[in-house]
Amino acid sequence: MDYASLLNEQQLAAVKTTSQHVRIIAGAGSGKTRVLTYRISYLISNMGVDPSKILAIAFTNKVAAEMKDRACKLVPDSAFFLHVSTFHSFCARFLRAESKAINYPIGFTIFDEDDQTALVKNIAVDFGYKKGDKIVKMALDYIRDKKCRGEYPEDIVINREAFDEEKECLRFFAAYEEKKTAMFCLDFDDLLLKTIKVLVDNPDIQYRWSHRFDHILVDEFQDTNDVQYKLMKLLMRSDTSVYVVGDPDQTIYTWRGANQNIILNFTKEFPDAETIILDRNYRSTKTILDAANLLISKNKKRVPKNLYTLDGAGEAIDIKRLPNAEGEAKYVIQQIMKLANKTTPPNYKNIAVLYRSSYATRPFEAEFAAHGIPYRVFGGLRFYQRMEVKDVLAYFRLLLNPLDDVSFERIANVPKRGVGDTSIDTIRAEAKQANLSEYNYMLTLNPSESNLSPRVITAMTVLLGKMEATKKKLLDNFEVYSSVLKDFITDIGYYAYIAEDEDVDEDRVANVNALFDDITHFIANNPESTFDDYLQNVTLLTSQDDMNEGNYVSLMTIHIAKGLEFDYVFVIAMNEGSFPSMRAENESGHDGKEEERRLAYVAMTRAKKRLFMTCNTGYSFVSDSHAIPSEFFEDAGLKFPPTEYQEGYGDYHSGYGRPDHSTGWKTTHQGTSSFFSDGDAIDPFQKEPEPEVAEAKPATNGITDWKVGDIAVHEKFGEGEVLSIIDNSIIVVNFVSCGKKTLLANHPMLSRKASKGGLA
């Protein structure tokens, strides 16, 4: 392979280096993924490295898959042997391989944030609180903060409380760990911490794994935290080659534990390290890069570099200050319409609206809907977090791990089988008394010794019988597990249960079917995989892993936008107190300001062709005053035009000035979950029907003989053709107005206009 013809001078040096310790400072849009994949190819093809001796770590599953796919195209014979994953995925596989060292079964369950919350809420009830009490969130934040620092309850000694209720939070933490361990469950932080503990406590295991890899490559190294760095060093020998790629100017996750000093001090840790800077940008115009370079040059903690491009200057950056948030939204939407309407039909898919905090989107979403512009908010509900998907996954997890009480309580009354909160409380108490998990307690229940009603006992006995039968089928392995699982979900009546949901904007049956499509796709791509492997994969997905292309405007926080690029980028709500965030500055001082500036730098460098940056001067409840433009405009050398206030964007209010920071600011705390979850594409063309007087309706439509090809009429969805029939009780109809919907065949809102053979 002629690498010199495929790479620029710096990229080629980065790919061919023979140094043992290498730090690649890769500026935004400089082709770092290309360098990493060609480096893997070069190691195998030109340096004779065994591909199984290479471990590559990426920041998200999506990037890991892309990196492995690209590398495998360059060295196709090595595909099976390459190890490319995230830190968490690597640790999950490590712990399953070394499960005896932590006294866990191979099929342990991985908790996501929702599972953590459910468990802490149950602990709150045990402690005499209500599930909605403030202590629940305090305890969750405390647990996550301590584990991010690598601490467990036994490591914490409180001589003087750092805040009110710290001792109570520690009590929650201890109960959380005890209950989680009893269920053989691990949360995301456990994956790293338990892996480190196994390596530290077992020299033989550490020796074996450190000799498994000769080359360790880490992407997005600037966002590595202390725990991940410790893990990386435990996997090294004195002669292991380490190759890290990152950009200190894009460190934006310190609030989640990222330690910028790790990449900045790499040459102190490894004095022989070679540093190569990739500063040629292949994404943005010269105008955008010049402004971004000027902005980030105001930071002190960085490796100096200036991004450049061989392409043209491009169009000027459009900056605008509007009188209020509504006017700002109107301006942005009008510019988006101009860009999209350059083609027929309008093209929205290369347009993104980025913001510091999620609350900024309210007036923009209203304006999108008013103009009929499709958009999708990344940071809302991800596919794997949807109610029906989490229900089905909870069943699957319980099939693998009968000690998982969180999953048991989620599905006990889904579909409804008369097992209410009181019954759940009884099961929980009796199972605790018997020293059994809730599933195993119900499986071995003696009805005469329980306070549960006969009706509840019967319902649960039927359900658990079906689950045990499904477990046997999975063990028999006669069919692909996707088929066995779909039969089980159908058998327990879950399809019929969610088909009753008449939400126009959400086809829940279709979402469950999409989940099974996903399982089938996973099996096809990983034919040797197990059901356990699939569950691990979906639990470790992030927001970007859910992203797919569609003709809509993308709205997301800058944290989510990291690593992405768009032709046209709008950075909105750039006001002092909001962006930069006064909360970040108050909590972290100068370091907080530098991180906020890095966020602005990341936002600006997402743009390929044009960059728009806006703010408004309306009254702000964040700053308790009239808003003023972010200082980042000035830092980037951007000046507002003298005649910027235009008609049609609201009334201009001139009474504003820089807030007095000494008096404090009203801040809105944004939880970390807002940075890592997705939502649906919103169809603004759907309108609410006019309210009507409710009439008594029959319980069913009386139709029991639907056929493929029949013409159905639905009171909400209109007319459509029957495409398929599921179990004679559910039909899939392709409606003219809104596409495919999965419905109960006998629903009273459904009628038949014509059968396949003629009129009804």
Q: What is the pLDDT of residue 361?
A: 82
pLDDT at 645 > cutoff 60: no
In terms of pLDDT, which residue wins out, 649 or 259? Answer: 259
pLDDT at 651 > cutoff 70: no
Q: What is the pLDDT of residue 625?
A: 67
Q: CA-CA distance, 23 to 19, in Å (whole number)?
A: 10
SS3 string, 266-305, reads HHHHCCCCEEEEECECCCCCHHHHHHHHHHHCCCCCCCCC
Phi, psi of 442 (to 5 degrees): -65, -30
Least confident of 6-20, 94-108, 576-590: 576-590
Find the mean pLDDT for residues 74-93: 88
Q: What is the pLDDT of residue 659?
A: 39
Residues 6+ apart with CB under 8 A from 44: 51, 54, 75, 78
Opening angle at CA 587, ends 232 and 663, nearest 5:
170
Q: What is the pLDDT of residue 311?
A: 92
In the numeric block, the tokens 């490591």 are attached to 155
In terms of pLDDT, which residue wins out, 391 or 652? Answer: 391
pLDDT band at 151 (very low <50, low <70, confident <90, very high): very high
DSSP code of residue 690: P
In terms of pLDDT, which residue wins out, 651 or 155? Answer: 155
Find the mean pLDDT for residues 599-611: 97
Least confident of 47-61, 247-261, 630-644, 695-709: 695-709
In terms of pLDDT, which residue wins out, 333 or 66? Answer: 333
pLDDT at 132 > cutoff 90: no
Find the mean pLDDT for residues 228-250: 96
Q: What is the pLDDT of residue 757?
A: 53
Angle between helices 508-525 and 387-400 (to 10 degrees): 50
Instruction: Let me know if 150 is exposed, middle or buried by CB neighbors in 10 A (0-12, 13-18, 19+).
Output: middle
Of 103-107, 199-203, 673-677, the range with the highest mean pLDDT is: 199-203
- Percent of the chain clearing pLDDT 70 (strictly above): 86
Evaluated on CA atoms 525, 526, 528, 532, the torsion sign reads: negative
Q: What is the pLDDT of residue 698?
A: 65
Find the mean pLDDT for residues 179-184: 93
Instruction: Let me know if 130 is exposed, middle or buried by CB neighbors in 10 A (0-12, 13-18, 19+).
Output: exposed
pLDDT band at 62 (very low <50, low <70, confident <90, very high): confident
In CATH terms, the fold of domain 9-99+193-280 is: Rossmann fold (3.40.50)
Q: CA-CA distance, 610 to 317, in Å (whole number)?
A: 7
3-class secondary structure, 750: strand
Find the mean pLDDT for residues 629-653: 72
CB 88 within 8 A of CB 188: yes
DSSP code of residue 453: -
pLDDT at 527 > cutoff 70: no
CB 716 within 8 A of CB 504: yes
Q: Kindly report the average pLDDT of the chain as a whole number.
A: 85
pLDDT digits (tens, 9 = 90+) for 538-587: 777 655 555 556 789 999 989 989 889 999 999 999 998 889 888 787 77
Report the CATH number of the 383-540 domain.
1.10.486.10
In terms of pLDDT, which residue wins out, 679 or 360? Answer: 360
Q: Report, in this order, helix, strand and coil percent for the chain, each rounded to 5.
A: 45, 15, 35
Instruction: Let me know if 721 is exposed, middle or buried by CB neighbors in 10 A (0-12, 13-18, 19+).
Output: middle
- The amino acid that residue 202 corresponds to is N
Find the mean pLDDT for residues 126-143: 92
Find the mean pLDDT for residues 661-685: 33
DSSP code of residue 225: B
Q: Which CATH architecture has domain 318-382+547-636?
A: 3-Layer(aba) Sandwich (3.40)
Least confident of 138-147, 452-461, 467-476: 467-476
Angle between helices 362-370 and 325-340 (to 10 degrees): 50
Domain 109-183 classification at class level: mainly alpha
Least confident of 154-163, 291-300, 604-613: 154-163
Find the mean pLDDT for residues 124-132: 91
In the numeric block, the tokens 């096809």 are attached to 524
pLDDT at 604 > cutoff 50: yes
